[in-house]
Structure 1
Amino acid sequence: MNNDTLIREKLTLPNEGKKLLLHSCCAPCAGEVMEALIASDITFTIYFYNPNIHPRTEYDLRKEENIRFAEKHNIPFIDADYDVDHWFDLAKGMENEPEKGIRCTMCFDMRFEKTAEYAAANGFDVISSSLGISRWKNMNQINDCGVKAASRHPDMDYWTLNWRKKGGSGRMLEISKRERFYMQEYCGCAYSLRDTNRWRVSTGRDKIELGKNYYSDETQ
């Protein structure tokens, strides 16, 4: 299916919401979500708050790719704090927790609470996140954290739409390839990088090559 000629489902914000703040984790995950929102004429702003991403060079690369795509579509982009020391403080004692465990819950809570605070202070009545489109994530875990964060603010909703369904996962990959996004090979945090590299070495693979863009050398 050609993504450029795709007829998309018309989306509407929950509870007649007017203004969406979309937490974005990276361009590959956000690309399909952003295009779906644009196609539905939904007003939204990108909120990039991901102090979990390690190292800083990786954080900057993921952020700049997201900015590039947002600017292409004239979508406002909020560049939030990289308060990585606070993230490591919260992660103490969870260094060896598995992916999708309590460390990830803490990480979602931290990011969504900050997203909801910004939304409440700046006139947004709906928040959501591109995190849920990734098949490596637990959708229920993400939605639970998002709903909890939004519930702390009157008249705010967390949009629990499953972005993976109705071809969303496939279009995410199509858009990433079309835009030649940098495609990271681990979730983002130092412990995810450590554990992914341990697994790769145990299966005879090389460690992750940070910053490598697998689409950059392909012909147009």
Structure 2
Amino acid sequence: MLKLETPNGEKNVLLHACCAPCSSAIIECLLQNDIRPTVFYYNPNIFPKEEYEIRKAESLRYVKSLNLDFVDADYNHSDWREQIRGLENEPERGRRCVKCFIIRMLETARYASENGFTLFTTTLASSRWKNLADIFDAGRYAAKQFPGVALWEQNWRKGGLSERRLEIISQYDFYNQQYCGCEFSFRKSK
């Protein structure tokens, strides 16, 4: 398993999680490195609402099995749609995705700031379908808005985590979605 140290030596981290499949191996790795994550589930991009609820339930099921804290942030898809207005026809990995990362990282950094976390990271950095530079740019931008909070720029694709992720998906029989989450990626996946 990947050996980790947080940039500031912190042993508690706020982990923005997009779904159980993406977060499972990351959470396991954090715990094996004596780093306790609080899972922050904020994904207003997910559509339809039923899809959101399935993904949230799977994340909660995994987090509770490990006796960790789970923060169920507000689902406000209409606000998310308003914030990405004009970007609906952007390609995957385009400006819409960048804006979506910013929206989610800002809320994660805000929660971290208001709840005593000095460090946050995101499971978005585990997806081979996402641009790491865009994710980290969004996270750094969000962290700058909240003094005392920093982004942990960890590439969660390495160290055997992708392989372990597949094992955990099978072990827990996780629902494993076939698209990023928003209605625009859903249309592309059909």
Q: 2:146: which partner in 1?
A: 153
1:13 aligns with 2:6: yes
**Matches of 2:145 and 2:10 in 1, distance apart?**
17
1:130 aligns with 2:123: yes
Structure 1 residues 20-40: Cα deviation after superposition (integer angstroms, max 9, x where no partner): 100000000000110001111
SS in 1 for 2:90: coil
Give 1:43 shift. Answer: 2.1
User: 60, 66, 74: which one pairs with 1:67?
Assistant: 60
Q: 2:74: which partner in 1?
A: 81
Q: Which runs of 5+ in 1 are unaligned?
A: 1-7, 198-220
**Pairwise CA RMSD:** 1.0
**Matches of 2:100 and 2:42 in 1, distance apart?**
11
- Radius of gyration: which is bigger? 1
SS in 2 for 1:153: coil
TM-score, structure 1 normalization? 0.84
Task: Give the percent of matched residue pairs that are identical in Structure 1 and Structure 2.
Answer: 46
Structure 1 residues 4-58: Cα deviation after superposition (integer angstroms, max 9, x where no partner): xxxx233221122342100000000000110001111112200000000000000
Q: Contact (CA 8 Å) 2:22, 2:165: kept in 1 or not?
A: yes
1:104 aligns with 2:97: yes
SS in 2 for 1:178: helix
Q: 1:30: which partner in 2?
A: 23
TM-score, structure 2 normalization? 0.97
**Matches of 2:80 and 2:2 in 1, distance apart?**
37
**Matches of 2:2 and 2:94 in 1, distance apart?**
33
Amino acid at match of 1:173: L
Structure 1 residues 71-130: Cα deviation after superposition (integer angstroms, max 9, x where no partner): 000010000000111111112111110001100011010011001001000000000001
Q: Which runs of 5+ in 2 are unaligned?
A: none
**Matches of 1:152 and 1:185 in 2, distance apart?**
33
Give 1:147 shift. Answer: 1.3
User: 43, 48, 52: which one pairs with 2:41?
Assistant: 48
User: 125, 131, 137: which one pairs with 1:144?
Assistant: 137
| Structure with larger RCO (C-alpha < 8 A, sep 6+) | 2
Q: 2:180: which partner in 1?
A: 187
User: 115, 125, 131: which one pairs with 2:108?
Assistant: 115
